[in-house]
Amino acid sequence: MALTPQYDRSDFSLEDCPHENTEPLSPDDFEILKQIGSGGFGSVHKAIYKRDRSSWAIKKLERFTEGTSNILMIMNEIALLDAVDHPNIIQLFGFYLTDEDIHLVLELAPKGDLGHMLFRGNFSESKAKHFVLQIAEALEYLHENQIIHRDVKTLNVLLMNDDQIKLTDFGTATVVDSSGSTRGDVGTPYSRAPEIILKQSYSKNVDWWSLGVLLYELVTGQQPFHEGMSQIFHFSSLLNLLDLLSHLTDLTFCVCFDRLRSRQFRAQYLNFRSFFLFR
């Protein structure tokens, strides 16, 4: 896989963004049906591709003055999604530009994201394991290709009709060099690893930490840490993290968090080690 590090230039044009594996598209290619999501990033609409009547999700992002961090993140997402190919990572079909917006045409996930599904209640441990195994496979693929996602959370995990998951939102993802480490204060506060909060250099291990937070959230319906808490309280909570999990009789321990000590983790361990111990 030929990848370059995250964009850090200001002298670029969005039209020059690498997209060798995606289709050249225009607004006329699609019939917009309805809005299916929104957020700080913009909005998402369900659309029909007129040439073959296939269904896609169109993520509409406001097109600020080129050279801003917003455009850099969009370019980064396009380049990375164009380069990756994994069944548990969202597919980028292509993108097109209008005077005011950038439109990413993405694989449609009919069931939405895990974050909104949690509003209906937490998942069983067996269902959580089913989802986490798939996310871990996606992360291992990314890490093998020197990519760190850096924002693994329930809102960035989409669900297909057959309960296949799709990891999405690569705006803050980055490609690391041979050292395997990087810096940058990115990600969602409650799921960031301690290294990021401490503004230290970090590696792919930060994704496993975030996966552990996601796992806890799936099984309990709650976040182990909260965005509003002070950093001091956050760090004191880290010391007692396993106590937070102790009331889950079938969830003995999580090697996602334990990676802080071992520094070694692979997705295959989820199948062969005590990631979950079910009765």
Q: Is residue 279 part of a domain?
A: no
Among the ranges given (3-17, 49-63, 114-128, 185-199), the one the predictor scored with the smallest mean pLDDT: 3-17
Indicate whether 89 and 211 sit together in one domain: no
Q: Is residue 179 part of a domain?
A: yes
Q: What are the binding residues for ATP? A: 59-60, 107-109, 169
Indicate whether 124 and 246 sit together in one domain: yes
Residue type, 108: L
Indicate whether 84 and 99 sit together in one domain: yes
Query: Higher confidence at residue 29 or residue 99?
Result: 29
pLDDT tens per residue across span 240-267: 554 444 444 344 345 455 544 444 455 5
DSSP 155-183: GGEEE-TTS-EEE---TT-EE--TT--B-
CB atoms within 10 A of CB 177: 9
Q: Which domain holds residue 210?
A: 114-272
Indicate whether 42 and 73 sit together in one domain: yes
What's the confidence (pLDDT) of residue 64?
A: 60
Please report, for the domain that includes residue 261, its CATH number: 1.10.510.10
Indicate whether 220 and 263 sit together in one domain: yes
Say which of 151, 163, 243, 258 is annotated catalytic: 151
pLDDT tens per residue across span 119-141: 898 898 889 989 999 999 999 99
Indicate whether 214 and 149 sit together in one domain: yes
Residue 87 has pLDDT above 90, yes or no: yes
Please report, for the domain that includes residue 20, its CATH number: 3.30.200.20
Residue 61 has pLDDT above 80, yes or no: yes
Residue 274 has pLDDT above 70, yes or no: no
Look at residues 58, 79, 107 and tell me which one is the last residue of a structural domain.
107
Q: Is residue 2 part of a domain?
A: no
CB atoms within 10 A of CB 101: 16
Residue 31 has pLDDT above 70, yes or no: yes
Indicate whether 66 and 138 sit together in one domain: no
Closest CA to 30 of 110, 111, 104, 113: 104
Residue 177 is among the residues annotated as catalytic for this protein: no
What's the confidence (pLDDT) of residue 70?
A: 75
C-alpha dist (Å) from residue 179 to 26, 122, 257: 40, 39, 23
